[in-house]
Amino acid sequence: MAGGSAKVELKGVKKRFGDKVVLDGVDLRIDHGESLVVIGGSGTGKSVMIKCVLGILKPDEGQIFVDGKEVTRLRGRARDAVLRKFGMLFQNSALFDSLPVWENVAFGLIQGRGMARDKAHEMAIEKLGKVGLGPEVGALSPAELSGGMQKRVGLARAIAADPEIIFFDEPTTGLDPIMADVINDLIVTTVRDVGATTLSITHDMVSARKIASRIAMLYQGRIIWQGPTAAIDNSGNPFVEQFIHGRAEGPIKMEVRR
């Protein structure tokens, strides 16, 4: 594994909360333009991994590189400069309920990049169109939208500033199968349009198969398997086998406590 063209790379990232080791040396590499999906059970540290890359959490050990530059311990303006490359769709959308929908979408443009409000409004309406929402939705408050609509707005917000890297945290959790498929399609098409590198975390195998070019599995704080999406059915790894078939019996033991 050469360090040259990786968009994002994690080397030996460890993170613990108290006595609980969540990440135990994660090595992961996301290449330019690739769509990597990390699968794993609830509480295996998938969200923690993403938050470490974004700098919301500080890893205890290890290094994180974005475009070949180490970003592990950046703060303040240097951190903001790196974050401008990222877009993120949160699990429960995490829309700002004090702001109307369009301002949510335009937030990164107005606050992060200092764009004028009417220009940002125009851009926001355009991005809402990309996720299949009309301009009239822009004036609504996030609380007035259904879960699926909120996800779309969250997606519009994630792509608003044309990020180079987009993270999706459980993009289909809590949606009905049809809406989940709509969101999957939107992710595939919008990501193709923007030309972004993506990292998604999910435990929804339907979603994983649809949006991934490569899949990695996180278990007990380590990446235990990775390979192209097509290879997942012949992984030969008993952990992966158990997970993708959703069996209660197998090497993976359910941990009751997070």
Partner 1 sequence: MNLFAAIGRVFLLFLRETGALAVFAGDAVTGCIRPPLYWALIGKQMMRIGYFSLPVVGLTAFFTGGVLALQIYNGASRYGAETFVPVVVLVGITRELGPVIAGLMVAGRVAAAIAAEIGTMRVTEQIDALTTLATNPIKYLVVPRLVAAVVSMPILVAIADCIGVLGGYIASTQGLGFNAHLYLSNTVDNVTYNDVSSGLIKAAVFGFIIALMGCYNGFRSKGGAQGVGAATTTAVVSASILLLAANYILTNLLFVK
Q: Indicate the residue among 36 and 83 with the shorter CB distance to partner 1.
A: 83
Q: Give Cβ neighbours of residue 5 (< 8 Å, ≥ 6 apart).
A: 31, 32
Q: Indicate the residue among 92 and 146 with the shorter CB distance to partner 1.
A: 92
**What are residue 14's phi and psi, to 5 degrees?**
-120, 140
CB of 113 to partner 1, least distance (A): 8
Q: Indicate the residue among 70 and 80 with the shorter CB distance to partner 1.
A: 80
Q: Indicate the residue among 170 and 241 with the shorter CB distance to partner 1.
A: 170
CB of 225 to partner 1, least distance (A): 28
CB of 84 to partner 1, least distance (A): 5
| Interacting residues with partner 1 (CB under 8 A) | 51, 54-56, 80, 83-84, 86-88, 90-92, 94-97, 107-108, 111-113, 157
Q: Indicate the residue among 123 and 217 with the shorter CB distance to partner 1.
A: 123
CB of 136 to partner 1, least distance (A): 24
Q: Indicate the residue among 91 and 213 with the shorter CB distance to partner 1.
A: 91
CB of 46 to partner 1, least distance (A): 14
CB of 187 to partner 1, least distance (A): 17
Angle at CA of residue 34, ends 28 and 40, nearest 5°: 50
